[in-house]
């Protein structure tokens, strides 16, 4: 692990390292910000720079630019330079205020449309589209004609009301993509409120687009005001660069040869537009935490033991009974989980193995109510500590999820929001379930990090500062945050290299022992499971075909599929050799097979039996205890008693 250097930041250093620093490091953003700043300062200091009144015509008309009047005078005898200075004030106010209002409207509507979707989303989308197709300038003219006489704020309101739809549209489409990202799903599943998800999870990721919207609408506002003023609809009694253009045009400045009267405000507007565009370039860097150096380390706390006694109760913690689940597709239902019954004892490490596509994830997701459309549970039940998860209301589910059970998905490092510090993301799950005390949150976060083998310094990091293995550990720490009774891990280490994978798995097992939690661990790597698990269930074509203690599976697998699966992986010790897969392919889960689903690929099948009817579960006992369950005719006394394993006695059928 590479250490993050400790950096203590003074307020000045903070400003340099923060957004201002980023603007400073981007030459174009610096240029944009400097231009706007200069315009603002000149506008504010106008009375000190020029002693003339911008509105009163106290001089001769049409004076050419010279010493007394840097930019000459208007047809009404006003000093153009003074007008330019004062005009900067209102022009900037119109740009910034309209930009803020339009961006706020566009952001609120765009995000709501994406987050809520459904009817709400459709209504918002329709309104946005209607505003989008209305031609901008005529709409501006109509609305401002109604608000005529309302002064500068009426102009700002008019421009804001017509300037938001494009931003809303862009934001909606970006937010829709974001809505389907893993870290948003994870936030939903940890029970975070919609407002929190929108503002804390989604908004920071959209900062770049929102800022771009702001600069775009600010520019639109400056140009719109100029256009409205130019045609005489704006408030021409006020001095803005737009009204300067109006008066220049009204008094035929160009025909009089007074091009400077037109050029001065025209240049002002162009340079302001260019400044907004330049600032836009800096925005991406501001919204990208990779350029933000604030995520730095603090001191390490001492290791604390969180040892817990493993619950010795033999009652199942999770009891899945006759679960049927799958996907509703246009070509019919796909039954990915078929009549599965499975128990997980308190403190138990249950391994779930099987080839890709056999329904492992669907089983885990269906049992924990995480199966999204087109996924659906067709029947059965899943009880956690006696409570049927499948019949909980969404609110009840929100309370149970993460507190009673949590999940670590495949490639779960993607659930980390890239623009939020790790600390906040660890806090989030706890805060969503009522832990708000900062000291408690911090202590727990540090404890969790030590538990999963990461230095607590990394709480201050952003996800990109962590390696894949560390991110995975962070997600595991988040899953353990509320000490759930059960953690479902769906290939949590598949994306990592073997060494890191093994390290993390050992830590998971260690944590499991110390906290006494149960784990359902899903993988297609059976040899890995044999090492880690107490018990292993083997899935094939949506069914659990064998279930036994890990050692039993290793030394005395009963189902031909399990036996083939065992030989498909390298042995735990001894010479490493190349292993082949299992010839053939599993049957399609969109169809039902009358007999054993493994029939076609089984080298010891019994024609006329295995292909005709479903093999029932056979329970095999050892020393009087039922230890092994297998769904195979080879172990059914009624079909082929001679094939019993000598050391097992049949317990029941
Ligand atoms: N959205 C979907 N629509 C239709 N069928 C789906 C959908 N998602 C999964 N399936 C099908 O359901 C079956 C079970 O998929 P599932 O992901 O549960 O298997 P798995 O054993 O977890 O596989 P893997 O190890 O590759 O993750 C597969 O045949 C798959 O094609």
Q: Are residues 273 and 341 located together in one domain of the fold?
A: no
Model confidence at 308, in pLDDT bands (50, 70, 90)?
Answer: very low
% of the chain surpassing 70 pLDDT: 83
Model confidence at 285, in pLDDT bands (50, 70, 90)?
Answer: low
Per the prediction, the chain carries an average pLDDT of 80
Is 422 part of any domain? Answer: no
Query: Which atom of ligand 1 is found nearest the CA of 334?
Result: 5
Range from 176-190, 306-320, 476-490 that averages highest in pLDDT: 476-490
Task: Return d(Cα 545, Cα 597) in angstroms, integer.
Answer: 10
Task: State the pTM of this model.
Answer: 0.60
| Mean pLDDT of the 407-426 span | 82
Inform me whether the pLDDT recorded for 298 exceeds 50. Answer: no
Q: Residues lining ligand 1, CB < 6 A?
A: 327, 329, 334, 336, 354, 356-362, 374, 524, 589
Model confidence at 570, in pLDDT bands (50, 70, 90)?
Answer: low
Q: Which of 334, 520, 538, 565 to mutate to test the pocket of ligand 1 (most atoms within 8 A of CB)?
A: 334
Q: Are residues 532 and 596 located together in one domain of the fold?
A: yes
Q: What CATH number does residue 633 fall under?
A: 3.40.50.300
Task: Return d(Cα 548, Cα 535) in angstroms, integer.
Answer: 6
C-alpha dihedral sign at 169, 170, 171, 176 = positive
pLDDT at 619: 85
Model confidence at 182, in pLDDT bands (50, 70, 90)?
Answer: low
Model confidence at 645, in pLDDT bands (50, 70, 90)?
Answer: very low
Q: Which of 358, 376, 378, 412 to mutate to test the pocket of ligand 1 (most atoms within 8 A of CB)?
A: 358
Out of 276, 291, 306, a domain closes at: 291
Q: Are residues 331 and 246 located together in one domain of the fold?
A: no
Inform me whether the pLDDT recorded for 85 exceeds 90. Answer: yes
Q: What CATH number does residue 147 fall under?
A: 1.10.3720.10
Q: Are residues 125 and 190 located together in one domain of the fold?
A: yes
Q: How far is the CA of 323 from the centre of ligand 1 (A)?
A: 16
Inform me whether the pLDDT recorded for 626 exceeds 80. Answer: no
Which residue is closest in CA terms to ligand 1's atom 31?
357
Task: Return d(Cα 579, Cα 581) in angstroms, integer.
Answer: 7
Query: Which atom of ligand 1 is found nearest the CA of 374?
Result: 1
% of the chain surpassing 90 pLDDT: 23
Q: How many CB atoms lie within 10 A of CB 271?
A: 13
Q: How far is the CA of 589 from the centre of ligand 1 (A)?
A: 9
Is 551 part of any domain? Answer: yes
Q: Are residues 341 and 257 located together in one domain of the fold?
A: no
Q: How far is the CA of 450 from the centre of ligand 1 (A)?
A: 35
Quote the domain boundaries for residue 383: 318-404+484-571+582-652
Q: How far is the CA of 125 from the centre of ligand 1 (A)?
A: 33
Inform me whether the pLDDT recorded for 367 exceeds 70. Answer: yes
Among 49-58, 111-120, 356-365, name the one with the lowest average pLDDT: 111-120
How many structural domains are present in the chain?
2
Q: How far is the CA of 524 from the centre of ligand 1 (A)?
A: 13
Is 396 part of any domain? Answer: yes
Q: Are residues 89 and 158 located together in one domain of the fold?
A: yes
pLDDT at 584: 82
Between 496 and 451, name the one with better pLDDT: 451
C-alpha dihedral sign at 148, 150, 152, 154 = negative
C-alpha dihedral sign at 222, 224, 227, 230 = negative
Range from 174-183, 453-462, 522-531, 615-624 that averages highest in pLDDT: 453-462
Task: Return d(Cα 467, Cα 473) in angstroms, integer.
Answer: 10
Among 146-160, 384-398, 566-580, name the one with the lowest average pLDDT: 566-580
Inform me whether the pLDDT recorded for 265 exceeds 80. Answer: yes
Which residue is closest in CA terms to ligand 1's atom 26?
356
| Mean pLDDT of the 383-395 span | 86
Q: Are residues 595 and 643 located together in one domain of the fold?
A: yes
Query: Which atom of ligand 1 is found nearest the CA of 365?
Result: 18
Q: Are residues 355 and 538 in contact, defined by beta-carbon separation less than 8 angstroms?
A: no
Upstream peptide bond of 374 is cis (omega within 30 degrees of 0): yes
Is 333 part of any domain? Answer: yes
Strand order in the sheet with 332-344: 332-344, 318-329, 375-384, 387-388
Q: Which of 336, 377, 489 to mutate to test the pocket of ligand 1 (most atoms within 8 A of CB)?
A: 336
Which residue is closest in CA terms to ligand 1's atom 12?
336
C-alpha dihedral sign at 182, 187, 191, 193 = negative
């Amino acid at each position: 692990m590479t250490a993050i250097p400790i950096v203590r930041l003074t307020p000045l250093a903070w400003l340099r390292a923060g957004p201002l620093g980023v603007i400073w490091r981007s030459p174009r953003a610096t240029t944009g910000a400097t231009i706007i700043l200069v315009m603002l300062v000149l506008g504010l200091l106008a009375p000190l720079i020029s002693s003339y009144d911008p509105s009163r015509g106290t001089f001769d008309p049409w004076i050419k630019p010279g010493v007394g009047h840097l930019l000459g005078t208007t047809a009404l005898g006003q000093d153009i330079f003074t007008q330019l200075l004062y005009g900067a004030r209102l022009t900037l106010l119109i740009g910034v205020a309209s930009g803020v209002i339009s961006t706020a409207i566009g952001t609120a509507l765009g995000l709501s449309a994406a987050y809520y979707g459904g009817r709400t989303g459709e209504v918002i989308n329709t309104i946005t589209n209607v505003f989008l197709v209305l031609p901008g300038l005529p709409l501006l003219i109509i609305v401002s004609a109604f608000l005529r006489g309302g002064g500068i704020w009426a102009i700002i309101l008019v421009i804001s009301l017509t300037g938001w739809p494009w931003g809303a549209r862009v934001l909606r489409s970006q937010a829709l993509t974001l809505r389907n990202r893993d870290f948003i799903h994870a936030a939903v599943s940890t029970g975070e409120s919609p407002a929190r998800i929108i503002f804390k999870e989604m908004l920071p990721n959209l900062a770049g687009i929102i800022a771009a919207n702001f600069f775009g609408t600010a520019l639109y506002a400056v140009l719109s005001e100029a256009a409205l003023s130019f045609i005489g609809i704006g408030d021409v009694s006020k001095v803005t660069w737009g009204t300067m253009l109006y008066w220049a045009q009204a008094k035929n400045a160009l025909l009089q040869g007074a091009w400077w009267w037109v050029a001065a405000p025209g240049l002002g507007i162009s340079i302001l537009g260019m400044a907004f565009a330049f600032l836009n370039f800096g925005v991406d860097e501001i919204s990208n935490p990779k350029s933000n150096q604030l995520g730095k380390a603090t001191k390490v706390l001492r290791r604390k033991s969180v040892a817990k006694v493993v619950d010795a109760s033999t009652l199942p913690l999770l009891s899945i009974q006759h679960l049927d689940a799958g996907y509703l597709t246009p070509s019919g239902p796909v039954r990915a989980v078929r009549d599965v019954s499975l128990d997980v004892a308190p403190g138990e490490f249950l391994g779930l193995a099987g080839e890709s596509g056999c329904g492992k994830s669907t089983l885990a997701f269906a049992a924990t109510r995480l199966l999204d459309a087109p996924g659906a549970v067709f029947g059965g039940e899943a009880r956690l500590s006696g409570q049927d998860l499948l019949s909980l209301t969404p609110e009840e589910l929100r309370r149970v999820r993460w507190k009673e059970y949590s999940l670590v998905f495949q490639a779960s490092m993607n659930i980390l929001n890239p623009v939020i510090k790790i600390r906040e993301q660890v806090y989030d799950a706890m805060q969503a379930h009522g832990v708000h005390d900062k000291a408690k949150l911090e202590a727990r976060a540090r404890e969790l990090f030590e538990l999963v083998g990461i230095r607590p310094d990394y709480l201050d990091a952003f996800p990109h500062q962590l390696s894949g293995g560390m991110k995975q550990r962070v997600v595991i720490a988040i899953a353990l945050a509320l000490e759930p009774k059960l953690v479902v891990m769906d290939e949590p280490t598949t994306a990592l290299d073997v060494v890191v994978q093994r390290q993390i798995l050992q830590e998971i097992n260690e944590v499991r022992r110390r906290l006494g939690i149960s784990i359902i661990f899903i993988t297609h790597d059976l040899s890995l499971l044999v090492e880690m698990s107490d018990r292993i269930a083997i899935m094939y074509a949506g069914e659990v075909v064998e279930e036994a203690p890990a050692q039993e599976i290793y030394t005395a697998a009963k189902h031909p599929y399990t036996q083939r699966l065992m030989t498909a992986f390298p042995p735990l010790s001894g010479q490493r050799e190349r292993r082949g897969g299992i010839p053939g392919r599993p049957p399609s889960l969109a169809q039902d097979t009358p007999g054993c689903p493994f029939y076609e690929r089984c080298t010891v099948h019994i024609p006329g039996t295995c292909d005709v009817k479903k093999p029932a579960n056979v329970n095999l006992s050892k020393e009087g205890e039922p230890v092994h369950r297998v769904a195979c005719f080879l172990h059914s006394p009624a079909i082929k008693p001679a094939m019993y394993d000598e050391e097992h006695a049949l317990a029941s059928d």
